Homo-oligomer: A and B are copies of this chain.
């Protein structure tokens, strides 16, 4: 099947789902974009913005004739839906998701009925603010979009998933689920843990001297930004990626302890060497 002939059901119209639907619609990439959301008001907004062609609040009805189903809800909800949707999917449908961790989701995808074509997915983009009102068709442009086909996934389905990813402007990047989860632990979940510990440590200082917060400038704001994200979404991520996150936390704790030791010992040469290594690496990104 060609993407241009496919009906695509986007389940969950938040930032990620709304932007995916919007990109498909704006580019006329497929036959129909069906938006599925719990609230009628979300469907109304998405229709008004021309992000979807048709809206459904009923998951089963919305998926019934969809050739491609893209699950765009938080990880915990994706896992739950994967356990329920099997009987309602159109035979042979491609099931893709955009969840932040992949091992648990791909394991759940393995239990979908025979013939269903599962591909785990994770686009490497996001924004400070979530929700449909922040969605935009350009969100995926030039971003890496990780794809994790299963052993059972047919070549045609992999190809269809890749076409969809390219259609929204993203770069398909194939990774094993475990490898994906190890990498995002370092690049995405560790920043969150460090930002959270920064805010909690500053809070201790600010509790004695609240003028602290009026001094917070760009450096604090940037470094702590991700700590303001959705807690339920992050709890799902922590629950489904514990091992890899604990591993990178240990790495960061070691680095932080070594920085503190160099400072404590007033070892300028060692401090400078570490700071220069980090600065040089960061500037190359």
Contacts and interface: CB of A to CB of B under 8 A. Distances in A.
Interface residues of A, number: 91
A183 B215 contact: yes
Copies of chain A in the complex: 2
Interface string A205-246: 110010111111111111111111101001100110010011
Contacts of A50: none
Interface string A245-273: 11011111111110110011010100110
A179 interface: yes
A194 interface: yes
A21 interface: no
A153 interface: no
A220 B188 CA distance: 6
Contact of A204 (B203, B221, B251, B282): B251
Given A184-B215, A238-B263, A278 B200 contact: yes
Given A196-B259, A205-B251, A229-B279, 7 more contacts: A183-B215, A187-B217, A194-B195, A196-B274, A197-B259, A231-B279, A239-B268
Interface of A: 124-127, 143-144, 146, 173, 175, 179, 182-188, 190-206, 209, 211-229, 231, 234-235, 238-239, 242, 245-246, 248-257, 259-260, 263-264, 266, 268, 271-272, 274-279, 281-285
